[in-house]
Structure 1
């Protein structure tokens, strides 16, 4: 599908900086990051050049899943502070000409939410219908699997009602019944509550799961081998998203982005085509799927996954938005650190590959989502024992494998690469004890490399990953072509290099990225004698033989610019 001429919008021009509040800055010496801590670091965030902050959940929660189990949608989690702290945070963000987007968790609540506490007391309770239940007289519930439950079953028995409640995630996260119009109206009123406070949008967690087939037919596992895909195909999903837009979002100038778990490229336009009036953007799990499931294109590339598949995936999603708008990311709180996953966290290549990945994210078409800490090259902590982990997903998977007599050592080795806690370690501010995050022992261990990898060190180093990131941000914001320009993939069969053009009217950019720890070559098929290199992650780059083949050193990234297209 042809890329459309997109109407300008502030959220298309934004660079979104994701903050995991628990891990950013502790202000009251309890080892947990909080809102006052974020306020104290806003000048740093502003110095990066980013213009939107996305906060992971801050609502009241018993923290079974670090805030994604909400017990009160209109209160602040005690660990993070008070509503007065939030109001001050919002005021200070806006005073710096930045915007704030909150995580919206509406597929499920906490089992400690007043609604569920009431619902589980009696089938005749008014809140019983706020959740999904399967009465015992109908026999065992049909197969549904849970992402986080240690037993793997998404149905949990409730003795007082003699029925099972549905929980796609933890047993402490019962799924809300969106088929009940009262639930939807409660959710819309809650959204308005936050929007009236002045926030600038929502990132919607697991939004593709809110619609359920309430007959709960048996799953044909030959047709749906993955539960992500099955759960994402609820019959009324788009009806609900359109209703949300019409009832709430259309009344405000906001950004809406959904986590499209289980969605594929051919479904993307249904969410983001402007005429459908649903979401501004949707992101899927494509990067993680490529990294986890594909084999190297060649044993000689040094890349542990298929770069060809990664290029194909990003290109397909770029085309699939139709007249909508793409989102771009490589890491977040649900993924390990992007440096360890897509770059190289060895001492030799950490800085150069971190810069290469930043070049990719900030030159692609679409709104980039940047995870806090990646701008200094934070990497996976790679815990050695289960006691170091906090994440419910890792701990419950460990229990499952242990009960089945599985290979615990292999599991722990795998978690060093893929566990979510790799991205949740405290932010590394300086060389002091606990990396300047807290004066006391943090809720999660600090990465031992914090003495070398921290903001204080990199602020003073002109060629640091941090200062390279700032240069990239300025370049992106200086040229609208790098925002609205067309994206054209070059040399798709190249096993080491990701190269593409960004074009708009008479301006053109060539981006060449070596994803490999080995020397690579690219023949862009154009005369570069009229181009100039405006940025390279190798500062001593010499422009030789630029009219033909380009030689790229390990993890080398270059941006070339034409003043006019040929």
Structure 2
């Protein structure tokens, strides 16, 4: 079926807005408490009404669910709890019928340890698939399986060593994440060809692109070596496996063998922890044929101290502006930005960057305005368009995410105060984004007729889709207006970006300019009224008011004041032509 999208043409992905669905938590059709494909089908009209162009579907493949589907045991099937391939085909057709596209999650740095490839690799040390994964013997001079005998000192992202000992063969296999997520060896050309064949299979089925999970980790620096010790005896190996020596070669080969020559442009976004602006320019330069854009993590690490993710510090707006501004400038001439506040791995945006209490509605709208008016492709995570908030987790038993569960257990076992560990987990745990979507104020927020796999945020009676979709003053309606502005105003997509007031601690302001049209975006990141002393404030006050999260301001007096006065968490967009 031909796709007729709001964002069309050769660069359609630059004009598009992407909506991420975490299937386990979006909509449950059969009452088992777990979201599924038919639940998504039943809610497609919500997304069409919102106005998004692309749906990014987090993994729905068969999986033991050790890491909620990011541990894949079959790349060409559907996890039964989510449905069937027939359900998927119906979902894909429904997405296309509504003028949207569908992007799959591609997880090929690692598989599940229950994938047939790894089962065969593990069973036969002399077999043809042994080298499909990273197998190594014990550290020289140490007994296999002894403490500290791992081939390198790398720490896993999910706590503990990144190597798991296999008693049957006396060797270790590498897993940068869970021990049930062994890393594929991309040095082996047979691995790459198997991955490319799988990708072509999905594209031939009709999907429109891939979000590539930790794709910059597929190239490891050889020989594998220790990283600097960061805690205890474990080290940080990231410099040896992030953006490794063959990463550009692998991505260019993937483009040539999977994407080149297809009649429609295939959307590709690479999740790349640790990527720099300079590296991102290379990855996203269209002439290099690698990926369209990258997900970078700089701006979502600004509230973390030297102790890492769980060492939480207050976020400074100056740091946020400096980070996002650097990425806007760095990719201005070549390449492209992806824009996001939150996703399935990050806490809720309004709780992290805004005010999820008194000014929840205002700050949620403000965040949407600021993000979507930057240069790049914006991403909305499910529930963000409603202003869903973080969760008041009462105790460790409330968490489901493997990262949070493992961190709590290891930190407490290491002598940390349980209350302090919980205090660190609550604001940044990935489970904040994974609680069920709020559809209405009925039991379980309309997500399921059964007991959800993780508890619903207790504020769902006040924050839900039914209460917002027909309310012109709601967060949902504001997201619709922001998306519509992006679709209608070329300066939002193609205009130059200029940061204003870089040293102002509370006001975020910038302009977007194209062919005689200039937009001013000005926003207050505080709960107090503040002046916004933007250049030419008097002229802007008399310009066309395009969008805001408060009622349109009164006409400026004559003479107009030298600053714009912003209410708490207020955002405004003005337009001047000529």
Provide closer, same or farther for how the CA distance between residues 293 and 137 of structure 1 changes in structure 2, counting only shifts above 3 A. closer
| 1:276 CA drift (Å) | 1.2
Give, in whole Å, the separation in 2 of the partners of 1:506 and 1:137.
65
SS at match of 1:256: strand
Deviates further, 482-491 or 547-556: 547-556
| 1:513 CA drift (Å) | 0.7
Give, in whole Å, the separation in 1 of the partners of 2:41 and 2:171.
46
Q: Please tell me whether the aligned partners of residues 530 and 562 of structure 1 are also in contact (alpha carbons under 8 angstroms).
A: no
TM-score (norm 1): 0.94
Give, in whole Å, the separation in 2 of the partners of 1:93 and 1:491.
42
Q: Please tell me whether the aligned partners of residues 428 and 455 of structure 1 are also in contact (alpha carbons under 8 angstroms).
A: yes
Residue 88 (structure 1) aligned to one of 72, 87, 90: 90
Per-residue CA shift, 1:40-81, capped at 9, x if unaligned? Answer: 000111000101000101111000000000000001011100
Paired residue for 1:76?
A: 78
Per-residue CA shift, 1:362-410, capped at 9, x if unaligned? Answer: 2111000110101111000131111111100000001111211111111
Are residue 291 (structure 1) and residue 299 (structure 2) matched? no
Are residue 490 (structure 1) and residue 500 (structure 2) matched? yes
> 1:305-454 maps to which residues of 2 (within 5 A)?
305-321=315-331, 322-346=333-357, 348-454=358-464
Paired residue for 1:26?
A: 28
SS at match of 2:378: strand
Residue 277 (structure 2) aligned to one of 256, 265, 290: 265
Point out where structure 2 has 5 or more consecutive residues left out of the alignment: 1-8, 143-148, 307-312
| 1:429 CA drift (Å) | 0.5
| 1:478 CA drift (Å) | 1.0
Are residue 524 (structure 1) and residue 538 (structure 2) matched? no
SS at match of 2:106: strand
Count of residue correspondences: 546
Give, in whole Å, the separation in 2 of the partners of 1:64 and 1:488.
44
Are residue 278 (structure 1) and residue 280 (structure 2) matched? no
Q: Please tell me whether the aligned partners of residues 256 and 281 of structure 1 are also in contact (alpha carbons under 8 angstroms).
A: yes
Q: Please tell me whether the aligned partners of residues 226 and 235 of structure 2 are also in contact (alpha carbons under 8 angstroms).
A: no
Paired residue for 2:173?
A: 165
Paired residue for 1:298?
A: none
Give, in whole Å, the separation in 2 of the partners of 1:485 and 1:73.
40
Q: Please tell me whether the aligned partners of residues 291 and 341 of structure 1 are also in contact (alpha carbons under 8 angstroms).
A: no
Provide closer, same or farther for how the CA distance between residues 225 and 482 of structure 1 changes in structure 2, counting only shifts above 3 A. farther
Point out where structure 1 has 5 or more consecutive residues left out of the alignment: 1-6, 295-302
What is the alpha-carbon root mean square deviation over aligned residues? 1.7
SS at match of 2:248: helix
Give, in whole Å, the separation in 2 of the partners of 1:513 and 1:393.
34
Paired residue for 2:187?
A: 179
Paired residue for 1:551?
A: 565
Q: Please tell me whether the aligned partners of residues 155 and 235 of structure 2 are also in contact (alpha carbons under 8 angstroms).
A: no
| 1:226 CA drift (Å) | 5.0
Give, in whole Å, the separation in 2 of the partners of 1:174 and 1:304.
36
Give, in whole Å, the separation in 2 of the partners of 1:435 and 1:109.
34
| 1:530 CA drift (Å) | 4.8
| 1:462 CA drift (Å) | 1.9
Give, in whole Å, the separation in 1 of the partners of 2:206 and 2:138.
46
SS at match of 2:48: helix
Paired residue for 1:54?
A: 56
Give, in whole Å, the separation in 2 of the partners of 1:460 and 1:277.
43
Provide closer, same or farther for how the CA distance between residues 354 and 137 of structure 1 changes in structure 2, counting only shifts above 3 A. closer
SS at match of 2:14: coil
Q: Please tell me whether the aligned partners of residues 132 and 177 of structure 1 are also in contact (alpha carbons under 8 angstroms).
A: yes
Give, in whole Å, the separation in 2 of the partners of 1:126 and 1:36.
39
| 1:218 CA drift (Å) | 2.3
Give, in whole Å, the separation in 1 of the partners of 2:475 and 2:550.
12
Residue 268 (structure 2) aligned to one of 223, 247, 256: 256
| 1:159 CA drift (Å) | 1.1
Q: Please tell me whether the aligned partners of residues 33 and 452 of structure 2 are also in contact (alpha carbons under 8 angstroms).
A: yes
